Chain A
Amino acid sequence: MVVPTILILYTLVFIILRIIPGDPITAIVGTKSLPPEQLEALREAAGLNKPYIVQYFEYLWDILHGDFGESLVIRGRPIIADLFDRFPATLELSIVSFIVSVLIGLATGTLAASKRGTPADTSMRIYSVVAYTLFIPWFGMMLQILFGVQLKILPISGRLDPGLSIERITGLYLIDSLLTGNLEGFKNALAHLVLPTITLGTVLSGAYTRLLRNNLIDVLSQDFVRAYHARGVRGYKVMLHAIKNAFIPVVTLMGLQFAILLGGAVLTETTFSWPGMGTYLLDRIEYRDYTAIQGTVIFFALLVGLISLIVDVVYALLDPRIRY
């Protein structure tokens, strides 16, 4: 299932980036007065002066071998190097935001389900709708104004204060700083993560709140929950068992949410000047670096494919009915 998905996405991106614009180089470079030989050189560097079919398979072959091409603007710089450089930042932001969103979703969803019908439930349901319609840049900026400008207690851009550095092992600052015993770096990286992850996490949590609440209500009215009570199992244990049952469809949702997560990450990175793949993409767009744009979008597609594979595996691990 993953392979066709990736192929289809590759084809889609190929169509969008190579075929639709006609001549991508002039589309990207615009009507800048560059001499035709230079334009032609660019086209050649991007591999565009061959028939489409050839291009399609050539580029696909390259990608599968990890060759994402070279930047058109910074000569000699392989795009894959840039991507690996920027990827950990986006990964760290995404993972922590994801955790935040699940925690918020669990808390609000469970609250709403257990206090069904009360004002608490109603406000949680309104929250879940409001949360996913929050405009990320706006919400992020409001947090920046409040915590960064007015209260001045949290940083509002970047991953670290200038002047500080963390030795790069994985590229994930929280982990690297702990691995190298860099406590100050850890605290600083954590502080920089707070506002962006709350912004992104809140927006994502909306969907989880609602799904978990609905599932939990259904599960709580099922027979086995009653059977648990009838056996004299303690209340909180019954609730935990129920949540586990209600949680499984949420996992599938997480797979879908990943797409929203990536999109949201792009906006979050831009708002908080976070040096990840999102800002890289926009950066390259501004510089008209065609090959880099292409490579980044393909990379996103591969990520999506990979995540849906992981979600399937996790789902099978959680639900024994699938395994046996």
Chain B
Amino acid sequence: MMTLLEIKELKVHYYTLSGIVRAVDGVDFDVGRGEWVSIVGESGCGKSTLAYAILRLVPPPGRIVSGNILLDGVDLLKLSGEDIRKLRGSKISMVFQDPMTSLDPLRRIGDQMVEAITEHEKLGPKAARAKAEKLLASVGLTSDMIDRYPHQLSGGQRQRVTIAIAMALNPSLLIADEPTTALDVIVQDRIMDLLEGFKEQGTSIMLVTHDLALAAERSDRIAIMYAGKIVEYGPVDLIIDQPMHPYSKALLESTPKLRGPKKLTYIPGYPPDLRRPPSGCRFHPRCPRAMKICQLKEPRAEGVDGRIVACWLYLEGGDASE
């Protein structure tokens, strides 16, 4: 599988008046061509920031501190503002969480679509409009919606429109940040089907979500994120059936759909304050299998058993106990 996107040691910090929030603190991972990779984690773990960083949309006071983001070998972080703008919406697209607020309420759907198209492609107004109509059809909407205003559509319809806009220029990568959280379950399913359809046509999908079950259903690979770091990462079936990192296990056990008839558990404690993350392994205060070394040194991410995991339980130098 050819690699499309490669992220190396990415750090994104927010410089606030009450401290530096280390939202993404050294993340490595990659997305292959035509592959569906999901990033899963609790609220506040930094996954959205990671998604924004790829398109360099991190809002102030956030800043991409260090690292590389390589798209087909080109480091996106070294491009000029204008160059990255040209990539946005054409090679990499993004769909956001709340369809109620992702569209400009004052403009018709068609106008917004045409604008997105003509910012990148030289098309006359008629041709652009025809293309917009086709795009609407490709997401299962009728072309008469092109002259409607966002508030006249339902949430599911609006999300389809944003996906249509995102797919307008046939991007290599589509990033979806919690695209269905604000929608009901049936609509959720349909939207996911839609995304899967695009994946089959060659677009890579990167899904950011807190819903492990949702990710498990559709992904090829899955990355579990905690407190600004990726703790486990690999093929989805492997991780769901044989999770290694204690956090992955705990997450699975607290997800009703995936743990089967076992008792529902929860993870005690709270996600850490990213201004003052715990020393060593960030999960150690809540980890049922924490050892002395866990609080002293951060575990490296290493390939173990077909996936990548960052945990002293599986590294040399940690006490080998099982």
Q: Do chains A and B touch in the complex (CB under 8 A)?
A: yes
Cβ contact within 8 Å between B87 and A224: no
Is there a chain A Cβ closer than 8 Å to B119's Cβ? yes
Which residue, A222, A233, A244, A319, has most C-beta atoms of chain B within 10 A?
A233
| Nearest-CB residue, chain A, relative to B118 | A233
Q: CB-CB < 8 A to B106: which residues of A?
A: 241, 244-245, 248, 318-320
Q: Verify A222–B149 contact, CB threshold 8 A.
A: no
Contacts of B228 in A (CB 8 A): none
Q: Is B116 an interface residue (CB 8 A)?
A: yes
Q: Are A324 and B89 interface neighbours, CB within 8 A?
A: no
* B93 interface residue (CB < 8 Å to A): yes
Kindly provide the distance from the CB of A117 to the nearest chain B CB, expressed in whole angstroms. Answer: 9
B275 adjacent to chain A (CB < 8 Å): no
Are A233 and B116 touching (Cβ within 8 A)? yes
Interface residues in A218-242 by Cβ distance below 8 A to B read 221-224, 226-235, 237, 241
Query: Quick check: B165 and A231 within 8 Å, CB to CB?
Result: yes
> Quick check: is B103 within 8 A (CB to CB) of the other chain?
yes
Q: Are B149 and A320 in contact (CB under 8 A)?
A: yes
CB atoms of B115 and A233 under 8 A apart: yes
Complexed CA–CA distance, A235 and B106 (Å): 18
Q: Which of A221, A226, A234, A319 has a CB less than 8 Å from the CB of B119?
A: A234
A321-B162 Cα distance, complex, nearest whole Å: 19
Give the contacts of B134-161 with A (CB-CB under 8 A). Answer: 149, 151-152
B273 at the interface (CB under 8 A from A): no
Residues of A within 8 A of B57 (CB): 226, 229-230
Which of A227, A234, A241 contacts B107 (CB under 8 A)?
Answer: A241
Contact A230–B101 (Cβ < 8 Å) = no
Query: What is the 8 Å Cβ interface bit string for chain A, positions 123-154, against chain B (1 contact, 0 not)?
Result: 00000000000000000000000000000000
Q: Report if B128 contacts A (CB, 8 A).
A: no
Contacts of A227 in B (CB 8 A): 94, 96, 102-103, 162
Evaluate contact between B101 and A222: CB separation under 8 angstroms. yes
B86 within 8 A of A: yes
B152's nearest neighbour on chain A, judged by CB, is A324
A contact residues around B98 at 8 Å (CB): 223
Q: A227-B102, A245-B105 are in contact. Are A232 and B151 (CB under 8 A)?
A: no
Interface size for B (C-beta < 8 A) is: 31
Whether B55 lies near A234 (C-beta < 8 A) is: no
**Complex: chain A residue closest to B115, CB-CB:** A233
Bound Cα distance A231, B55 (Å): 10
Q: Mark B78-103, 1 if CB is under 8 A from A, else 0.
A: 00000001111110011011100111
B120 interface hit (Cβ, 8 Å): yes
> By CB atoms of chain B within 10 A, which of A221, A319, A320 has the most?
A320
From B90, B106, B116, B152, residue with most partner A Cβ within 10 Å = B106
A23→B93 CA distance, assembly (Å): 77
Whether B104 is near chain A, meaning CB under 8 Å from some CB there, is yes
B96 x A232 contact (CB < 8 A): no
Chain A hits for B86, CB < 8 A: 232
Interchain CB contact (< 8 A) of A232 among B87, B107, B152: B87
The 8 A CB mask of B100-137 against A (1 = contact, 0 = none) is: 01111111000000011001100000000000000000
In Å, the complex CA distance between A233 and B97 comes to: 19
Whether A232 pairs with B101 at a CB distance below 8 angstroms is no
Inter-subunit contact A324/B149 (CB<8 Å): yes
B residues in contact with A319, CB < 8 Å: 106
Contact with A along B48-76 (1 / 0, CB 8 A): 00000001010100000000000000000
> CB within 8 A of B116: which of A226, A231, A241, A318?
A231
- Near B by CB (< 8 A), chain A positions 62-114 give none
Assess the A224–B104 pair: CB atoms within 8 A. yes
A100 CB to nearest chain B CB (Å): 26
B98 smallest CB distance to A (angstroms):
6
A224 to B152, CA, bound (A): 16
A224-B103, A245-B105 given; 19 more Cβ-contact pairs under 8 Å:
A221-B59, A223-B98, A223-B101, A226-B57, A227-B94, A227-B162, A230-B94, A231-B115, A231-B116, A232-B89, A232-B119, A234-B119, A235-B85, A237-B115, A320-B105, A320-B106, A320-B151, A321-B149, A321-B151
27 examples of A-B residue contacts, CB within 8 angstroms? A221-B59, A222-B101, A224-B104, A226-B96, A227-B94, A228-B104, A229-B57, A230-B55, A230-B57, A230-B88, A230-B96, A231-B88, A231-B115, A231-B166, A232-B86, A232-B87, A232-B88, A232-B90, A232-B119, A233-B119, A234-B85, A241-B104, A244-B106, A320-B106, A320-B151, A321-B151, A324-B149
B: residues with CB less than 8 A from A are 55, 57, 59, 85-90, 93-94, 96-98, 101-107, 115-116, 119-120, 149, 151-152, 162, 165-166
Shortest beta-carbon contacts, A-B, top 4: A232-B89, A232-B88, A231-B89, A223-B101
